[in-house]
Structure 1
Amino acid sequence: MKTGRTSALIGLATAAALCAAPVAAQDLEFSLYSGWQTAPHSRVKGDYPGTGADFDALIGWDGKSFEMPPYYGIRGTWWRSENVGFGLEFTHTKVYAPDDEKAAIGFDDLEFTDGLNIVTANALYRWPNRWGSVTPYVGGGIGISVPHVDVDSTNGFETYELQYAGPAARLMAGASYDLTERVSVFGEYQFTYSSNDVDLEGEGSLQSDIKTNAVNFGVTLKF
């Protein structure tokens, strides 16, 4: 699997793609958000580096949203009508394996913390000014997971690189509030799912289907 770029570059590339689309004034929205992100347990399995032995464990991931690098997201939406929009979104989610659980299966580090990066193409539906200046919305998207793999085995093999890992999806529901004609703020719940199959140094491998839950707060600029 190819590597060599940071999650920040993925985010910038996503933003550049959003801004490159030829759209009419007031049709394009650019949103930036952060918040509190968690991840429930998921099973981790694969071939242990250097030995090829199987490992299989249920990991209770920590999100640590506000530790560096922080959890954040970038979303661009092109509203094709009053109600329906399409766009792209990049989210820098994070998951850390607890110390005792990763040690139990032979790892010193087991985390996706420079990003369990999710990139999706989205469709959204909104109800403009449903309650005065408040606009509720729902949406979803499908795309890919591009995590930064940070996995060190106790026998000395270290994997620290960006990889394409598999398909991903997201769902969201929230509401925005207009501060001005050009600026609004929003809050939302967001769920992501990613199927991750990554390579480890020492001819190892790791697979895990990871879900995240987040409460996001952000700002939107309208162009």
Structure 2
Amino acid sequence: MRHLIASTLAAVLCGGLAAPAAAEFELDFYMGAQSAASSRAEGDRPGGGTYGTTFDWEGRSFEMPFYYGLRGTWWRSETFGWGVEGTHTKVYAPRDERDAAGFDRFELSDGHNIITVNALRRWPDGWQGLTPYVGAGVGFAMPHVDVEPAGGGPRTYGFEVTGPAARLFAGARYAVTERWSVFGEVQATWSDNTADLDGGGTLETEIVTQAVNLGIGYSF
């Protein structure tokens, strides 16, 4: 997956940098339904010992704090652009799996925040007034780590930069006015996370999320 993301981003960036500049900036806000693939989490326990288990992560998109994202894109031409994006994804360990692993809390829930630099390709008015687009980005993960061992051990509760991240997305946009638009898309993110836990512990896990997004955009 890493090689696919890198090659896709390089191809889109090369095309965008070769294109003539155009004065258009697009700001997008979206929400949607986000889930996460199962993955193994392992590390050292605070206070001693090790752990390792596979969690069937829950996304809980429509529970506070909600899943959402912001994206800014500078379109250098009619078809190529680049920009930045931040997505507030979330993952929770199911209660039974968390308890079996010996934790009272195990989640990245006040944002498993994914921040990337993106490259995008679009096809203006490609079909029935819709503008299809695809994009890829690379950056880093900065989750709010909330982990507490069972039995009253030290609770980890704070933001950390935990490792590299990437995203892929594709969708279509419809212009409502010259400035405003609406869009729908599918998006996936990947991150390789290593977090420090209070009390001398660690957490290592790869997180892959999938989402269906609906949003609104403004161009200027």
With the length of structure 1 as denominator, give the TM-score of the two structures. Answer: 0.88
1:69-218 map, 5 Å: 69-155=65-151, 156-218=153-215
Q: Which amino acid aligns with 1:92?
A: H
Q: 1:24: how far off? A: 6.5
Gap runs ≥5 in structure 1: 1-22
The list of structure 1 runs, each at least 4 consecutive aligned residues, that deviate by more than 2 angstroms after superposition, is: none
Instruction: Give the alignment partner of residue 41 of structure 2, picking from 40, 44, 47.
Output: 44
Name the CA distance, whole Å, in 2 between partners of 1:148 and 1:142. Answer: 20
Q: Which amino acid aligns with 1:84?
A: F
Residue 103 of structure 1: SS of its match in structure 2?
Answer: helix
Per-residue CA distance 1:109-157 (angstroms, 9 max, x = gap): 0001100000000000000001132000000000000000000111421
Q: Which amino acid aligns with 2:171?
A: G
- State the partner residue of 2:8: none
Residue 96 of structure 2: SS of its match in structure 1?
Answer: helix
- State the partner residue of 1:10: none
Name the CA distance, whole Å, in 2 between partners of 1:189 and 1:89. Answer: 15
Name the CA distance, whole Å, in 1 between partners of 2:40 and 2:117. Answer: 27
* RMSD value, Cα: 1.0
Name the CA distance, whole Å, in 1 between partners of 2:105 and 2:173. Answer: 39
- State the partner residue of 2:53: 57
Residue 101 of structure 1: SS of its match in structure 2?
Answer: helix
- Does the 8 A contact of 2:88 with 2:113 survive in 1? yes
Q: Which amino acid aligns with 1:99?
A: R
Q: Which amino acid aligns with 1:173?
A: A
With the length of structure 2 as denominator, give the TM-score of the two structures. Answer: 0.89
Residue 102 of structure 1: SS of its match in structure 2?
Answer: helix
Residue 192 of structure 2: SS of its match in structure 1?
Answer: strand
Q: 1:209: how far off? A: 0.2
Per-residue CA distance 1:150-180 (angstroms, 9 max, x = gap): 0011142100000010000000000000100
Sequence identity percentage = 55
- State the partner residue of 2:6: none
Gap runs ≥5 in structure 2: 1-20
- State the partner residue of 1:11: none
Per-residue CA distance 1:73-113 (angstroms, 9 max, x = gap): 00000000111000000000000000110111110000011
The alignment of Structure 1 onto Structure 2 pairs a total of residues equal to 199
Name the CA distance, whole Å, in 2 between partners of 1:55 and 1:112. Answer: 18
Residue 122 of structure 1: SS of its match in structure 2?
Answer: strand
